[in-house]
Amino acid sequence: MAMSEEEPIATYTERLIEVSRRFSLYKDRVVVKARWLLKGRHEVTVLLNTLSGEQNPITIRYRMFRYAGWVMAIGALCFAMVYYNAKGGPIGILGYLTLSLAALGAAFTATTYPNRYIRFTRFMTKSGRPGLDVGFAGNSADAYKEFVEKVKRQIKKAQ
């Protein structure tokens, strides 16, 4: 059967605001198709026989959550300065703009809050470098664990 006609053993999808990655596990490889919000599409194939089977759990702080917090804080600080300088009078267009910025930051923070920390399983290559990262974002914990276990089994079979 040709590579393009072969059915994957398992699939898994990560979803974040700026990227969606779809992992397709085959008997000898993992195909990762990423769709970035502003950068377009990207595809990479990781051969399972290049991976050592060693895996490291890592946790990162989602940068969009951090950016959202900064937007909210800066908007609130700017609004406080405008409100203080208005001395009880009308806050004007600048006041409404800074208040909108703070509200936008608060909404963005609430949107990114469920993924403020993202857990990854990093599969190492035989040379000791990172080879494949699978993140727990946008799916159930069971689907994530099941996919990682299937990848581990296929790596052992590919050795």
Structure confidence at residue 1 as a pLDDT band (50, 70, 90): very low
Residues 6+ apart with CB under 8 A from 28: 47, 48, 49, 154, 158
What pLDDT score was predicted for residue 35?
Answer: 95
Quick one: three-class SS letters along 140-159? CHHHHHHHHHHHHHHHHHHC
Helix (H, G, I), strand (E, B) or coil at 58: strand
Structure confidence at residue 3 as a pLDDT band (50, 70, 90): low
At 13-36, the pLDDT tens digits run 999 888 999 999 999 999 999 999
> 100 versus 39: which is more confidently predicted?
100
Kindly tell me if the per-residue pLDDT of 113 is higher than 60: yes
At 124-147, the pLDDT tens digits run 999 999 999 999 987 788 999 999
pTM, entire model? 0.79
At 37-96, the pLDDT tens digits run 888 999 999 999 999 888 899 999 989 999 999 999 999 999 999 999 999 889 999 999
Kindly tell me if the per-residue pLDDT of 4 is higher than 60: no
Q: What is the mean pLDDT of residues 116-122?
A: 92
Angstrom CA distances, 140 to 15, 32, 126, stand at: 12, 19, 30
Count of alpha carbons within 13 angstroms of residue 114, beta-carbon side: 9
Token pair of 152, please? Answer: 């581990």
Beta-ladder partners of 25: 10, 30
d(CA 51, CA 28): 11
Number of CB atoms found within 10 A of residue 38's CB: 6
What pLDDT score was predicted for residue 17?
Answer: 87
Residues 6+ apart with CB under 8 A from 105: 68, 69, 70, 71, 72, 73, 74, 75, 76
